[in-house]
Chain A
């Protein structure tokens, strides 16, 4: 099945700095999604990317889908304490419909 590798697994960021988390696959992906899970919370959907080279922005968050549809990134500018949490990429597998599989996640800690 499709598997996505996510890096880094941990990111310590100073408030106001930028950071990027990456998801990579050895196979071509039909889509990729991003979720955020706050400490003690549950995953919340952020965005879905479907098209090759797609770029979507949500305020300070920029999501990209690679031209080959094998990688994706989430870039956050001017990090705030509200950005604390774990960011997961996730894919709906094509070999078995109904399986939403998650990357390992990037845990983000923000210091004021």
Chain B
């Protein structure tokens, strides 16, 4: 199984809502990532988890809160988002060594209204 599964595929939320994005992989990868991608732009790294611990936070606003409950799951909790946060949110995983293939999920297309 070389898949990274993200749910939901689409999400529309109001600025006062709380929602969560979910990501799951069963490849035994101990590094997991959240990326944000705006239209016609490259993916931008948000967070890196290594062995279930947060290792990199790219100065992401606190309205985005990541969580890694176990080695297969990665969540991104959303609260009080702004319309400019509308984007494709991609989860990825890889071996924890770096310099290796990253596997991306299909993404959650988020619209904040």
Contact = CB atoms under 8 A, between A and B. Distances in A.
A43 B43 contact: yes
B103 A45 contact: yes
A104 B104 contact: no
B56 A98 contact: yes
Nearest to B58: A99
Interface in A24-73: 30-31, 33, 41-45, 48, 50
A78 interface: no
Nearest to B4: A42
Given A103-B42, A105-B42, A96 B56 contact: yes
Interface residues of B, number: 25
B24 to A, nearest CB: 15
B22 to A, nearest CB: 16
Contacts of A92: 98-100
Contacts of A99: 45, 48, 56
A22 B89 CA distance: 26
A44 B2 CA distance: 12
Contacts of A98: 31, 33, 48, 50, 55-56, 98
B3 to A, nearest CB: 11
Given A98-B50, A101-B45, A43 B56 contact: no
Nearest to A42: B104
Given A42-B90, A43-B104, A98-B31, A30 B99 contact: yes
Interface in B83-105: 90, 92, 94, 98-105
12 contacts: A30-B99, A31-B99, A33-B102, A42-B90, A44-B104, A92-B98, A98-B31, A98-B33, A98-B50, A102-B43, A104-B41, A104-B42
